[in-house]
Amino acid sequence: MTTTARTTSPTGPTKSTRKPSAVAVLALGHATVDFYQGAVPALVPFLVAGRGYGYTAVSGIVLAATLLSSVVQPLFGALTDRRTMPWLIPLSSLCAGVGLALAGLGHSYALTWLAVALAGTGVAAYHPESARLARAAGRGSHVAMGWYSLGGTLGFALAPLVVGPVLTAGGLGATPWLVVPAVAGVLCTAPAVLVLARRAAPGRAGATSPAAPDDWPVFLRLSAIVVCRSVVFVGLSAFIGLYAQERVGGGPATGSAALFTLFAGGAAGTVAGGRLAARRGRVRTVRTAYAASVPAVAGVVLVPGPAFFVFVALAAAVLYVPFSLQVTLGQDFLPSRVGTASGVTLGLAVSVGGVTAPGIGALGETAGLGAALAPLIALCALAWWLARTLPEPKGMPGYGPGTGSAHGTPSGG
């Protein structure tokens, strides 16, 4: 496979043997780093049980994972627009793993906050450069970006399955074991990432000016949609474990099951998003998904009993259908700043919502979690309203319905 990937023939077989391999490697790395984003909400029920933290305190922990990430993610994106930094991908994965490994040690809230903040910074540093390479590896295909995004979603989904049993067996003192996925992921992906970065560098250096100018007003509108989605999904992921125990009954195991349902539903939505966009167009698919999110999230907040899990799965699926599509839309709205666009649409999509988590937690302590989560329904409606005004990017061949790729050269950034 390595020899085939080095050929310069532009024929179809050469492309088909290279793209799946490169995208698969980046998807594996994406799964590794987003495992630690999903591990933070999975840690919350154990902090409540082991240290007696209230809703406001655990909201602060979620904030630690997201605040620095929200601030520095666009900065990393701007840096990767100026220069290639493939070494940042393995380094950021290790930072995420070390941060979570330290989170359960000791009993100081401040040290726990700082450890989780380190993990969030690692997640922030990973996404812009990784998404730029994914665009190059997939030659601009939003279907390929969907598979890359699926890696991150699966990492989210696996987190409660790993964190729950590890901490149930060993308590918070077992968090050092959580560094293992980061080390394994780096060992598996770092050599291939460096090779892919060297291949993409000549195309990047010789790339001509973008065919279309940067469209900042539309990109900012897309960013507002990303923020709405982030607040909804991060709010759900931060408190769904505790809310499930209220609505269904049971202990931390019920919370872990709800988190897994949330993240697994997201994985299904990620796969569906790329395929639906290839048939119906990206913008139309995004609009439909946000329209469907309104009743789905309402069901999560209002419906009791076992049906709660059905609505959790539905809400996750429709919230993740637009996930990878927003990444390629952002890259097309800012064709000369792919790293910046990726840092906002991909990175902030899993981080900026945490800034509102303390407010949700404080409202939950005074009025109950149901009342605290109810405003998320209105944010879904706002995202749908904003999505109605999005245009399909012009001058981007191959992105209409029935197609799955664009840009035959792997420059992309």
The residue among 142 and 288 whose pLDDT is bigger is 288
Q: Is residue 171 part of a domain?
A: yes
Q: Is residue 400 part of a domain?
A: no
Query: Is pLDDT of 208 > 50?
Result: no
- Please report the pLDDT score of residue 252 as a whole number: 75
Q: What is the maximum alpha-carbon separation in the chain?
A: 65
pTM here? 0.72
Q: What is the pLDDT of residues 277-298, one digit of tens each?
A: 888 889 999 999 999 999 999 9
Q: Is residue 117 part of a domain?
A: yes
Q: Compute the half-sphere exposure of residue 363: CA atoms within 13 Å on the CB side of its CA.
A: 15
Q: Is residue 3 part of a domain?
A: no
Q: Average of pLDDT values for 201-205?
A: 52
Query: Is pLDDT of 412 > 50?
Result: no
Q: Is residue 8 part of a domain?
A: no
The DSSP-derived string for 259-286 is HHHHHHHHHHHHHHHHHHHHHH-HHHHH
User: Rounded to the nearest 10 degrees, how much is the dihedral formed by the CA atoms of 342, 43, 372, 367?
Assistant: -160
Q: Compute the half-sphere exposure of residue 127: CA atoms within 13 Å on the CB side of its CA.
A: 31
Q: Is residue 13 part of a domain?
A: no
- Please report the pLDDT score of residue 375 as a whole number: 95
Q: Is residue 99 part of a domain?
A: yes
Q: How confident is the model at residue 201 (pLDDT cuts 50, 70, 90)?
A: low
C-alpha angle with apex 28: 88 to 94, nearest 5 degrees?
40
Q: Is residue 10 part of a domain?
A: no
Query: Where in the sequence is the domain holding 351, given as residue range(s)?
Result: 18-202+212-387
Q: What is the pLDDT of residues 101-138, one digit of tens each?
A: 999 887 889 999 999 989 988 888 888 788 778 877 77
Q: How many domains does the chain have?
A: 1
**112: helix, strand or coil:** helix
- Please report the pLDDT score of residue 106 as a whole number: 75
What's the CATH number where 86 sits? 1.20.1250.20
Q: Average of pLDDT values for 226-235?
A: 90
Query: Is pLDDT of 10 > 50?
Result: no
